[in-house]
Structure 1
Amino acid sequence: MFAVRRFIVLNRIWIAVALLALGFYLGFEVTWWLGWLPMLIAVLMVVAHFMVGPVTIMQRYIEEGDVEGAQKIIQRVKYPNLLYKPIRSAYYMLKANFSTMSDDLDSAEAELRKGLEMGGADKDFQGTALLQLGSIAYRKGNMKEASEHLRKAVQSGLPDADSSATAYLQLASIALQRRDFKGSKFYYGKAKAAKPKNEQIVEQLNEMKKYMARIPG
């Protein structure tokens, strides 16, 4: 079933051309009452090609861990500015994720900023994008920018407990580096209250707990 869907999604234009030809044939040779239907479907497929693109089938590749396959699919998008806004946001988020995986932080940052600049994205996307921008700035050593993005991410709202805990942990770490012990305790408490499930984040919480125990007051 997925193979059929993939074929249709990746060949919308050629299928649309064939449907247009069929529509004209039926219109001239049989009746336009029948010919208009394949022509309408062809128009809808062309619209879907440019406004939806192949982004919708990438979830399958990601679920199966086929990063290379997902990257090949996303590279087929030639005109991202024509994508429907929520789809466009997902497109830039995925591109940013792929760039982050390859340690191309500059490209990841650029893609995230593009996604945010487009507007129209839901709060989950905004929060997640800001969280990633904060994490990138943190990795680059720009703590001021990291702190700003992370605070905005929390204010915008994050989609799950793990994301919230990640943001608060990074804010706590930044506060520790600034020797803002009160702030670090505050953010650590927020991270703990988020009750993350991810093992790596829980481990980071436990590790930071050791530092919190050494802070006076």
Structure 2
Amino acid sequence: MAELPELADDRALLGRTSTAERVADILRSRIAEGYFAPGTRLSEDGIGGALGVSRNTLRESFRLLTHERLLAHQLNRGVFVRVLTVEDVEDIYRTRRLVECAVVRGLAGRPRDLDAVAESVAAGRKAAREREWKGVSTANIHFHRALVALAGSERTDELMRSVFAELRLAFHVVADPRRLHEPYLSRNEQILGTLQAGRYDEAEVLLAEYLDDSRRQLVDVYGRRVVQVS
């Protein structure tokens, strides 16, 4: 990992006021994108050199992402991108169900702009037409992030940003992303339609069923995949 040209391109994002939080933002995004796959050891020299940051700044960033459960420190071995357990996946979905369904429930009487939700649905359909299954996965995540954003809460957005990044760690070890993600495109459209019609109770029911089905499918696929690679 001595040469990291793609990560070096992110150096401009740091600006003159480089901070551990900004470095953590970059690494979080890269982990979510799959640039650093689960189980990857992160090189302090490689990443620090690519981003042009000090070892102390990078270690603080690692600490922040370890707290978010995206990284794991192994004594005398270094820092690694976490490999989730099946129990982790179950817990992620419990959190998602609590937060996302509560957000939709809270829309009654206070409708919000649904443009970002609609844009994510369109992006998913476009990625599917182009057979870009990683893009479909990303669009699905954006759909749920847009739903969460309807709460108008920066704290909830921040919480779920970490949850969705952690969820992507599970997605990255799934062998057939099309089978995992494509069936939910039509369900995204259905939920969007009920929200646009103001049928919030129905949207919440659809969303709860969606998350329960997604959890069962991912736990099954992920559990078998982890056994194969372990």
Under TM normalisation by the shorter chain, which class is it? under 0.3
TM-score under structure 2 length normalisation: 0.25
Larger RCO of the pair (alpha carbons < 8 Å, separation 6+):
2
Q: In proportion to residue count, which structure has more strand?
A: 2
TM-score under structure 1 length normalisation: 0.26
